[in-house]
Structure 1
């Protein structure tokens, strides 16, 4: 098997979700640190435009969005499973809620003036301005909660998670599922990056204990790697997907082989353009060629992404 190369940065909450899953599955991986804000030239050479964090590279296959990357890691290491039967559907639904509703409530709460001071208190004004402008560009027309509204929602969500932990160590039973990893990472950001805001977690002690259990999983075996070598790996490799479903599912009237773009529905609207080589019930795949990365296949989950034909 080709090496797992994770393009990420230390304070990225969605990266923490994957780092813990890599640890849970005891997988070895290579770490490429990418910039927190644009430009991200080496990453975009691989993805064709997509710049959300993290991205998983395996040879010349580039997997975008943690929802899809979780499926790849489950294929590589089926045990311990993050989608155990009989509740895998419930785990996926809860994870999707956590990666969207819970995440954005937590972030709106974390980015209150006090939380922002934790993150940027010692940073030069130009750094703060650049980060703010970058995230504004990625947000597009998204409607964000105000901090006070977010605090109320966040407290409610923490109470609901606490209720789920009354009689069990993890949200859906005796072992963690994808739901645990998805619910954990927004709370991890509150605890680690905005400590002055972390008092909200003390209102639900069961959640704090669960967070300690999750943190103890660790990140697996990591090796420092660099972006230039990752591009060399892509150039020297031939795409070979690890996604198991391949049946064409046409919802758009767009044939395989067509030039298309794929972009996220909301946050991170930058589009990737290429040749559509797969459109299954779960994912899209584009073939594209870059002068630095060679020919790569870029994979996206179907849910949360928009497929459009490129006009001739």
Structure 2
């Protein structure tokens, strides 16, 4: 199998979720460091517009969104399991809550004015402004929590997580699953990126101990790769055929009246609304796949989960 190439940056919380999942799976991977804000020309050459972090590349196949990336990693390395059979449903539901409700409460707390000033303390003055404008553009349709409301919610969520890990080493038992990695990463940002605000964790020592157990998982075996070289990897590869890639299901599920082969766009429902356009080559119960051509990357297949994304016919099609 071609190398697993993760496009990420060190302080990205969702990237930490996948870095730990790679470590949990004991997988080797290539690290491509991308900018935290636009422009991201090498990444967009692969995705066609999608710019959220991280993105997993395998040859000329590009997997967007950490929920889908976790599915890919489970297929690549089935053991140890991110989705144990007895927990498959509840783990996915909990992970979806953690990646949305918990994440946005935590980040509204983390990036309140004091936190943002700390994160950008060593950066040029214009860096904070550029970051703020970039994230404002990404979240223009979202209602964001104010710091006070976020603090109240975050404290409540930490107590609920504490109730779970007081009984077990991990959220649902003796071993971690996808729910643990999804709940961990926004808390990791609090502790590692805005330590001056990390005292909010002190009221739930069981959560801190759980975080330490997860941190011990590590990030697997990583080598660095230049972003331009990653584009070349795609250009020199052929994308895997629908049904023969790293996503298990392949049966067509038509919920939109859009046949395969149609020109379409796929856009996130809320955060990061840049559309990716291409030919619809798969629409299964769990994911969409587009074929697109890029002058630098050549033919690539870009994959998205169904949940959280909007499929539309391309304008004029």
Instruction: Sort the TM-score into its range (normalised by shorter chain).
Output: over 0.9
Q: Deviations over 1:89-109 (max 9, x none)?
A: 000000000000000000000
Q: Deviations over 1:107-131 (max 9, x none)?
A: 0001111111210123222111111
In structure 1, the partner of 2:282 is 278
Paired with 2:88 and 2:113, the residues of 1 have a C-alpha distance of 39
Superposed, 1:88-107 pairs within 5 Å as 88-107=88-107
1:205 lines up with 2:209 in the alignment: no
Unaligned runs of 5+ in 2: none
Q: Deviations over 1:211-237 (max 9, x none)?
A: 000011000000010111111110111
In structure 1, the partner of 2:57 is 57
In structure 2, the partner of 1:78 is 78
Paired with 2:216 and 2:166, the residues of 1 have a C-alpha distance of 20
In structure 2, the partner of 1:257 is 261
Q: Deviations over 1:249-301 (max 9, x none)?
A: 11111010000000000000000000000000000000000000000000000
CA contact (8 A) 2:116 2:128 kept: no
* Helix, strand or coil at the partner of 2:85: coil
1:219 lines up with 2:219 in the alignment: yes
1:243 lines up with 2:285 in the alignment: no
Aligned-pair distance for 1:24?
0.5
In structure 2, the partner of 1:144 is 144
Paired with 2:311 and 2:96, the residues of 1 have a C-alpha distance of 20
In structure 2, the partner of 1:23 is 23
Aligned-pair distance for 1:146?
0.4
Q: Please, which moves more after superposition, 242-251 or 293-302?
A: 242-251
Unaligned runs of 5+ in 1: none
Paired with 1:128 and 1:208, the residues of 2 have a C-alpha distance of 29
Aligned-pair distance for 1:140?
1.4
Q: Please, which moves more after superposition, 123-132 or 181-190?
A: 123-132
Paired with 1:111 and 1:233, the residues of 2 have a C-alpha distance of 36
Paired with 1:167 and 1:264, the residues of 2 have a C-alpha distance of 36
Paired with 2:33 and 2:233, the residues of 1 have a C-alpha distance of 16
Aligned-pair distance for 1:87?
1.2
Aligned-pair distance for 1:189?
0.2
Aligned-pair distance for 1:69?
0.3
In structure 2, the partner of 1:122 is 122
In structure 2, the partner of 1:174 is 174
1:132 lines up with 2:136 in the alignment: no
Q: Deviations over 1:138-192 (max 9, x none)?
A: 0012000000000000000000000001221000000000000000000000001
Aligned-pair distance for 1:244?
1.2
In structure 2, the partner of 1:67 is 67
CA contact (8 A) 2:47 2:276 kept: yes
* Helix, strand or coil at the partner of 1:248: coil
In structure 2, the partner of 1:304 is 308
* Helix, strand or coil at the partner of 1:23: helix
Aligned-pair distance for 1:311?
2.6
* Helix, strand or coil at the partner of 2:270: coil
* Helix, strand or coil at the partner of 1:81: coil
In structure 1, the partner of 2:42 is 42
Paired with 2:273 and 2:76, the residues of 1 have a C-alpha distance of 29
TM-score w.r.t. the length of structure 1 is 0.99
